[in-house]
Amino acid sequence: MAGKFELYKDKAGEFRFRLKAGNGEIILVSEGYKQKASAENGIGSVRRNAPLDERYERKATSSGKPMFNLKASNGQVIGTSEAYSSEPAREAGIASVKINAEGARLVDQVV
């Protein structure tokens, strides 16, 4: 089963997206956008940048757990991962984004 982008509106009224792997696990989430078109552009940016390893900023949360940001060519964060239990698990998460982003279908949940 292929991955998918879910485009939705949060409780604050901002547009967001999340990338889910084929098993339904959330592997990347966006920031909030004021305009739907901006969130859609963010999805396009994830598709373009996901294959490029240099776009992944490998970091740790404040509690020391591994996580990553996916950045655009201008350095702006376009997606953030969950916190992982280990660095190998984080690398598996990055690999999943690389595999799923390009061909992921878009599910528009905005009513």
DSSP string over the chain? ---EEEEEE-TTS-EEEEEE-TTS-EEEE---BSSHHHHHHHHHHHHHHTT-GGGEEEEE-TTS-EEEEEE-TTS-EEEE----SSHHHHHHHHHHHHHHHTTPEEEE---
Could you report the per-residue pLDDT of 2-39, keeping only the tens digit for each?
A: 899 999 999 999 999 999 999 999 999 999 999 999 99
Report pTM: 0.93
pLDDT for the residue 1: 62
pLDDT for the residue 47: 96
Could you report the per-residue pLDDT of 57-94, keeping only the tens digit for each?
A: 999 999 999 999 999 999 999 999 999 999 999 999 99
Query: Alpha-carbon distance 57 to 38, whole Å?
Result: 22
